[in-house]
Amino acid sequence: MAPALRLSIRPKQPQRVFCPFSFHFHSQSVGDTHLVSRFENNHEDQAIRKAFDKPWIDAGSSFSSPASVGMFGYSQLQESEDLMRIAQRTVRKCGLIVNRICRSFSPHRSPGPHDPVRNDTKLAFLKCVGMFDRLSDGLCRVIDLAELIRNLHPDPKWIDAANRCHGLLCRYMNTLNTHRDLYNALDSVLNQLPTAHQDPDLFAARAVALQFLRDFHRHGIHLPSSSLKRLVELSDRMLLLGRAFFAGSTEAQHPTHVTKPEARMMGLMFTQSLDFDSRGIAYIDPSEWEAHILLRQHPEESVRRRVWMAQNKSTDEQVSVLEALLKTRNEFARLTGKSNWGQVALEDKMARSPENVMTFLSRLATETRPLALKELSQIQEIKQTHSKDTSSQISPWDRDYYANLLNFRSQTPSSSNLAPYFSVGTCLQGLSRLFSLIYGISFRVESHHAKEVWHESVIKIGVIDEKEGRIGTIYCDLFDRENKSRGAAHYTVLCSRRTDVDDDSSDFQFLPSQAEPLIDDIYPSLSDCELLQVPITKRKGREGTYQRPIVVFSCSFDPPNPASGQPGLLAWSDVETLFHEMGHAMHSMIGQTDYHNVSGTRCPTDLVELPSILMEHFASCTSVLGLFARHYADDRPLDRKAFRDYLAHQTNFKGLETNAQIVMAALDQHYHSDIASLDEFDSTVEYHKIQDRFGLLASVPEASWQTKFGHLHGYGAGYYSYLFDRVIAGKVWQEIFESKALSRESGEKYKEEVLAWGGGRESWEGIGKLLKDPIVEMGGLAAIDRVGSWGLWKDS
């Protein structure tokens, strides 16, 4: 996803699913047969399942494109080379908008007697913010599109064009980040509005303005030229070191080994899968499945320790790269006026400060500890039973092995036995039914032009509100194919935004002369200045016109098989992924605001995972399962006891898993604190300190796992967000939905207090009002501590 031009003039990555752990089962004695029957004669409901499970039946879902239709229906985007033409026209049009902002709102301007904003500071502020948002949206329309194409399009010509387009616009955006006239204009109108913080009607506009101003400051707009030069050097260095660190965190590790006698203890099939040399030794990558199997199932502790050490050992070079990255971030932060990188990363988050994050993690660790210790004692007991070692001490390489022995005792269905009940089509059908019941919003499969999508397997869904009509579009690229990006991701191609106040036809009126270049050396041209044209519509009950959201979510599920008639079937983890991703998509659909910069998922990153994690709770709720968990062949419902037993089996060690995530989040905060500025900073020493402080298992002196923590690259000082939102989602589920998951009243309350605002309202206020908790509503340290006290598990 591109920057909300906050001038977040560094492209924002698509939201990719990351679920460190997810355990829920919610039993309700709700009769769902009558609910399912409500949809049985609904043609649009039945079409959803057929479109995803048996796409070969309806081959007419796409049709030839007329000359006026291109990618996503845009007439300007029919061939790959159109991307660069659009990018160049966008730069010229944005140059006009920049010129208009600077000439209209410069603190040094001399307004005329008929200037509409001469004496109205509020109007001036709103107009200026609206133009910044239009500038941001114009760039992001193309950058977000290019980001999607270069990740999902199968044609190398389109990928190459998207890369060139993306590079051009990002370079232009970088010039805006240090555009002093642009900064002065926005800073001036905000400073003339001393009571802005007291006017709730201005919160969204002020949030947009502050996003831009923060990004200006992060790019050194306030610094003298010598310091600014150093900041640019540090920024480039962070980029290079970040890429090097992340590449190192995922590359093949130094191999470990297993001897033939050791392998035979795992059985014939495992032994035959290995390649032994003349000495009877097989070398294996510690990150591959063979190593994980050894760690979980090999009876010899020495073998498990060898594998674990290989997985948790870093090279000197990898450690040096990480420490250089952390020190560079720290220097960057100090140069911009902050004490450390944590302060830079958290200033616009709900948590606000590193101290608040550590308060949350410490409180959550305290709440989680009793359950985690209880689980650890179970592992200790089974070790005493099975091990020759009379000591009950559990080492890190023991945990998975003895936990596996405990799980083996209970005979539970495997995920593969459940998969026939979770076809892609029935799950999408169930999601539409769920949203219809709780939000009054449903899905409609729509035909599309051939050029509108990048692959024939993409399915277009219209999102329909029962009162407002069509409110947005979701393109589903759910099936695996050759060379497709793996994993799951949510791409925002277009955000909601009010458009009737743009007055873009007046942009040329602010030019002193069309023969002169603009203030950033761009020459205007009526025929060559144009943003990507998007559809606009009226909104029922709202003034003005709006552009509607378009999102894409991508997964890598097994495709349906026309030869056998079998649809794509999902493991339970895939079902959770699907529900999780749809949480992001629906946030984009419902959070339609006047400003693109605070629309939908463009909210604080420690709020953005709340809607998606909450959807995981819905997925495992009995009454919701009744809407979709049916066998693809004969439509019989899933046996609830079997499913309950399966989930119980998966959640045996949720306390220990939570503790491990707390350690990682605390390490992330610690690395981005003042500690990184010390000459003697040693990331391995600090890793052991955090493990010993927060972990339940003693640290191993020889271990240096920290370079495997790839999230330090993309989520520096933000890893806590997943735990934070998981705790809040658990509380929202417990208080609002657990006893009435399919209640329209509950859904509307959540929609109106949280989803509908996007990032255009103080996040603490929305959650506090939803939960009727005045302490949470006020935010700050007290609210942070309250969230930590909720914990994750009611039985802890």
Average pLDDT, the chain: 90
pLDDT at position 24, please? Answer: 55
Cα-trace Rg, the chain: 27
Tens of pLDDT, residues 532-567 = 999 999 998 889 999 999 999 999 999 999 999 999
d(CA 668, CA 728): 21
Residue 6 pLDDT class (50, 70, 90 cuts) = very low
Nearest residue to 554 (alpha-carbon basis) of 494, 477, 631? 477
Single out the residue of 24, 27, 19, 16 nearest to residue 730, CA to CA: 24
Q: Please state, in angstroms and rounded to a whole number, the distance separating the CA atoms of residues 189 and 582.
A: 39
The confidence score (pLDDT) of residue 66 equals: 60
First CA to last CA across the chain, in angstroms? 38
Q: Which residue has the tokens 């073998």?
A: 303
Helix axis angle, 301-311 relative to 289-297, nearest 10°? 140
Residue 451: closest CA among 56, 63, 51: 63
Q: Counting Cβ atoms within 10 Å, is residue 691 exposed (0-12), middle (13-18) or buried (19+)?
A: buried
pLDDT in tens, 736-748: 999 999 999 999 9
Q: Which residues contact 712 (CB under 8 A, 6 or more apart)?
A: 245, 322, 325, 668, 671, 706, 719
Q: Which two tokens stand for residue 564?
A: 């056998």
Tell me the C-alpha distance between 18 and 500, whole Å.
38
State how far the Cα of 471 lies from the Cα of 547, in Å rounded to an integer.
9
How many helices and strands (H and E) does the chain possess?
A: 30, 13
Share of the chain above pLDDT 70, in %: 89
pLDDT at position 521 is 65
Q: Tell me the average pLDDT across 315-339.
A: 97
**Which residue ranges form the domains of the chain, and what is each CATH number?**
15-68+418-650 (1.10.1370.40), 72-241 (1.20.1050.40)
Which of 368, 418, 454 lies closest to 150, judged by CA?
Answer: 454
- Whether the CB-CB separation of 742 and 757 falls below 8 Å is answered with no
Alpha-carbon gap, residue 127 to 252, rounded angstroms? 53
173 vs 616: CA distance, rounded Å: 37
Question: Rounded to an integer, what distance in angstroms lies between the CA atom of residue 390 and that of residue 747?
Answer: 54
CA distance 218 to 241: 18
Rounded Cα distance between 742 and 222, Å, is: 52
Pairing of strands 448-449, 62-63: parallel
Q: In the structure encoding, which two tokens stand for residue 614, read together?
A: 């909450």
Distance, CA of 593 to chain centre:
20
Distance of alpha carbon 669 from its chain centroid, rounded? 19
The residues with which 257 forms a beta bridge, in sequence order, are 283
Residue 353's pLDDT band, with cuts at 50, 70 and 90, is very high
Distances (CA, A) of 153 to 70, 200, 741: 14, 43, 38
**Gap between the Cα atoms of 494 and 549, Å rounded:** 5
Q: For position 19, what pLDDT does the model report?
A: 47
For residue range 757-768, what is the model confidence (pLDDT) as tens digits?
A: 999 999 999 999
Q: Cα–Cα distance between 647 and 11 in angstroms, integer?
A: 38
pLDDT value of residue 514: 63
Q: Which residues lie closer than 8 Å to 312 by C-beta, 6 or more apart?
A: 396, 700, 703, 704, 705, 708
Nearest of 176, 178, 148 to residue 162 by alpha carbon: 148
Mean pLDDT of 278-291: 96
Contact 747, 438 (CB under 8 A): yes
Identity at 751, one-letter amino acid code:
K
* 185-202 pLDDT, tens digit each: 999 999 988 765 567 789
Listed in sequence order, the residues at least 6 apart from 478 whose beta carbon sits closer than 8 Å to its beta carbon are: 52, 424, 457, 459, 553, 554, 555, 557, 568, 578
Q: At what angle do helices 720-732 and 654-671 cross, to 10 degrees?
A: 140
Torsion angle of the four alpha carbons 373, 379, 382, 387, in this order, in degrees rounded to the nearest 10? -120
Average of per-residue pLDDT across 411-418 = 71
Reported as type and span, the H/E element at residue 463 is strand 459-465
pLDDT at site 32: 58
Q: Is the pLDDT of residue 18 over 70?
A: no
At residue 89, does pLDDT exceed 50?
A: yes
Residue 314 CB neighbour total at 10 angstroms? 23
d(CA 356, CA 220): 26
Distance CA 183, CA 135 (A): 14
Output the pLDDT for position 17: 44
pLDDT digits (tens, 9 = 90+) for 28-80: 433 455 677 778 778 899 999 999 999 988 644 555 556 578 999 999 999 99
Average pLDDT over residues 414-419: 80
**pLDDT tens sequence across 582-626:** 999 999 999 999 999 999 999 999 999 999 999 999 999 999 999
Pairing relationship of beta strands 469-479 and 550-557 according to DSSP bridges: parallel
Q: Is 251 a catalytic residue?
A: no
3-state secondary structure 365-399: HHHHHHHHHHHHHHHHHHHHHHCCCCCCCCCHHHH
Confidence of residue 652 (pLDDT cuts 50, 70, 90): confident
Burial of 287 (0-12, 13-18, 19+ CB in 10 A): middle
Band of residue 412 on the pLDDT scale cut at 50, 70, 90 = low
* Cβ atoms of residues 51 and 429 within 8 Å: no
Whether the pLDDT of residue 384 is over 80: the answer is: yes
Give the closest residue to 463 by CA, choosing from 577, 550, 541, 579: 550
| Per-residue pLDDT tens digits for 440-497 | 999 999 999 999 999 999 999 999 999 999 999 999 999 999 988 888 999 999 999 9
CA nearest 133: which of 106, 94, 88, 87?
94
Helix (H) or strand (E) holding 333: helix 316-335
| pLDDT band with cut points at 50, 70 and 90 for residue 110 | low
Q: How many CB atoms lie within 10 A of CB 442?
A: 23
Residue 370 pLDDT > 70: yes
Q: Which two tokens stand for residue 685?
A: 């020493």
- Report d(CA 154, CA 697) in Å as an integer: 46
Distance CA 13, CA 7 (A): 15
| Residue 466 Cα distances to 32, 110, 125, 375, 740, angstroms | 22, 50, 36, 48, 21
In the predicted model, is pLDDT for residue 145 greater than 90?
yes
State the amino acid at position 569 in one-letter form: L
Tell me the two tokens of residue 574.
């895939």
Helix (H, G, I), strand (E, B) or coil at 638: coil
Of residues 147, 581, 616, 686, which has the active-site annotation?
581
Contact 327, 676 (CB under 8 A): yes
- 9 confidence band (pLDDT: 50, 70, 90): very low
CA distance 107 to 128: 12
SS3 of the chain: helix, strand, coil, percent, to 5 = 55, 10, 35
**What's the pLDDT at 485?**
82
For 474, counting Cβ atoms within 10 Å of its Cβ (0-12 exposed, 13-18 middle, 19+ buried), the class is buried
Burial of 64 (0-12, 13-18, 19+ CB in 10 A): exposed
Whether residue 649 has pLDDT greater than 90: no
Q: What integer pLDDT is reported at residue 796 of this predicted model?
A: 41
